[in-house]
Amino acid sequence: MFMDNKHEAGREAGREAGYETGVDHALETLRTRFARIGDVESAAGLLSWDRQTKMPPGGLESRAEQLSTLSRIAHEMTVSGETAELLEAAEAATADEPDTDDVALVRLARREYEQSVRLPTRLVTEMSRRTALAETAWAKAREESDWSLFAPHLEGIVELSRESAEHLGYEDHPYDALADLYERGATRRGLEAMFEELKQGVVPLLREVSESRAAGENDVRKAPLMGDFDETAQESFGERVTARLGYDLSRGRQDRAVHPFCIGFSPGDVRITTRFDRGWLSAALFGTIHEAGHAMYEQGVDPAYTRSPLGGGVSMGVHESQSRLWENLVGRSRPFWRHFYPELQRTFPGELGGTGPEDFYQAINVAEPSEIRVEADELTYNLHILLRFEIETALLEGSLSVEEIPAAWNARMEEYLGITPENVARGALQDVHWSAGLMGYFPTYAIGNVLSVQLFEAAKAAHPEIPEEIERGEFSTLLGWLRENVHRHGSRYTPEELVRRATGGPLDTAPYLGYLREKYTPLYGL
C-alpha cells in the first residue's frame, strides 16, 4: 500500500496579477508555488507516518488537529486566486511550446488545481481530522474484533466521500469521481469489465486447482511457513533481501505498523513499514518485498521532478504493479528461492533445516481460499479486491449501510471464496484503507496485478537473461529496465501513455491470466 501525501482566464489575468508572461519566469513562479504546497503536504505526511509508527497514544487528539490544519493550509494555497493566476500565466506562456516536461508540469498543476478547487476547504479539513481519529479507532476495533468501535467513524467518512464525489463531478456513478483520484480515467463500468474478464479466467482455474488436490494436501505444502520464527531475525532477513533487490536504505527505513504501507517525501526519503507474525513466516516476508517495490518506484523518480507535480508515481495502479511485480513475479518465483533459500535456512535452521527450495516454492504458492487479502495467493487475490469494490460501490450509492458491511462482507466471501471469516477482525476490519478515507483505491491492486505481468514480460523481452540473473541474486538489469521505462518518468505521462510506452499496448488481462495458468498448471498437475 502506498500512502500519497496529497490531501486531495488567460494571459491578461497573469498580467493584472503582476506576473510576467515569459516562459521561464511564469514556469519558475508556478513551480515555486507548487513546491511550497508540496512541502506542506510532506510535513503532513511525516506527521501521519509518526502517528502510525512512533507517536504515543496520548497525542492522537492533538495530532488530528495538526493534520487538519496542514491539510487546510495546503488546500487553501492550491485553490487560491494567486495559484489560478499563476496557472493562467504559465499556460499562456507555454501555449505554443512542444510537449516538454515544463508543459507536462503545467498540465498536471492544472489537474491538481481543478480537482482541489471543486472541494470546499471545510470538507478537506474535516476529512483529514476524521481520518486521523478513524485510523486509531480502526486499529483498536481490529484488535478487539469489534465493528461497533469503528462503525461511527466510517459512517462519517462515507458521508464525506459521497460529498466529495458530488463536488468532483461524474457522469455515471459517484465511484467514478473517487476512482479517478487514484487511477486517472478509471470508471465503475471500466472496472466492472476488467473484473468480469478476471473472473472468467480465474474462477475456472481455481475450480480445477480445488478439484485436483487431496484433502489436507495444502496443509502439508504450507508446513515450511509455520513454526516459531523470531521477529528480529525476520526483520533482518527482510532488510537484507530488499537491499539486494535495490531498495536503498540510505534513502529509506523500515518500521513496524498495524498495516504495512510505504510513504515517500522525496526520492531521498522513502519509508516502508511491515507487521510480523511469529508463527507465520509469509506475512512479513512478502509484505516487506511488496512495500519495497513501492519504495523503489519512488526512489527511482527523476530527482529533477522533486517538489513538483511531476514527482511521485503516476497512479496507484502503476504503483501497485511495481509492488506486485517484486512480490510475486520475482519473490514467489523458483529462481529467486534457488538463490535465497540457503540464507533463509541459515536464518531459521530449526524450522527449515529439513526442507529445500522446492518445498518452500510449493509452500509460498499454495492456492486456496483464505480470509486475509494481504496473505492471499495470486489465484484468489483479485476476488478479495472484487468484494471490496462491490461493497464500496454499494456504500456510495446508498444501497448498503455501514452497519450492514460485516454481513455483506461474509456473504460475498462465501459466494466468491467458499469461506466465512472467523471474526470481523479477519473480515471487514482487516484493511486500513477505509479508515484513511481511501474510497476507490482497492481496484488499483487488481490493475497492478494485470500490469505487473505486462511489464515483467516486456522487461524479459528486452533482456532474456533476467530469470538467470534472478537465480544468481542479481536484480540490476530488471530494476534498470523499470527505472528507464517506468520509475524515472514520475507523473510525466498519463498512466495509459506510460503503459503503452513501456509495453507497446494498453492494459490487457490476457497476459496476466496466461501467467496464472502457466504457473498453477504444473504446481497442481492440471
Q: Identify the CA nearest to 321 among candidates 431, 439, 446.
A: 446
On whether the CB atoms of residues 487 and 318 are closer than 8 A, the answer is no
pLDDT of residue 18: 40
**CA pair distance 209, 221, nearest whole angstrom:** 14
Classify the C-alpha dihedral 31-36-40-46 as positive or negative.
positive
* Averaged pLDDT, groups of 10, the chain, 526 residues long: 54 37 78 96 96 93 94 96 95 90 96 96 95 94 98 98 97 96 96 97 93 78 94 97 98 92 96 95 95 98 96 96 98 98 96 94 94 93 97 96 98 95 97 96 97 98 98 98 98 96 97 97 92
**CA pair distance 46, 49, nearest whole angstrom:** 5
Cell of 500: 503503452
H helices present in 278-423, as ranges? 281-299, 316-324, 334-347, 349-352, 357-364, 381-397, 405-417
Q: Identify the CA nearest to 313 among candidates 475, 322, 106.
A: 322
The domains of the chain, with CATH numbers, are 2-169 (no CATH), 188-523 (1.10.1370.30)
**CA pair distance 224, 351, nearest whole angstrom:** 7
- Sheet with 269-274, edge to edge strand ranges: 2-3, 262-266, 269-274, 252-256
Half-sphere exposure of 12 (CA within 13 A, CB side): 1
Q: In whole angstroms, how large is the CA radius of gyration of the chain?
A: 23
Contacts of 292 (CB under 8 A, 6+ apart): 242, 245, 247, 262, 272, 323, 326
pLDDT of residue 215: 55
Which amino acid, 462? A
Q: Is 166 labeled as catalytic in the residue annotation?
A: no
Which amino acid, 412? R
Classify the C-alpha dihedral 16-22-25-29 as positive or negative.
positive
Among residues 183, 239, 291, 351, the one annotated as catalytic is: 291
Contacts of 262 (CB under 8 A, 6+ apart): 1, 2, 3, 270, 271, 272, 273, 291, 292, 294, 295, 298, 323
pLDDT of residue 375: 86
pLDDT of residue 22: 56
Q: Identify the CA nearest to 229 among candidates 351, 356, 361, 359.
A: 351
Question: What separation in angstroms does the CA of 422 have from each of 116, 141, 371, 428?
Answer: 41, 15, 8, 11
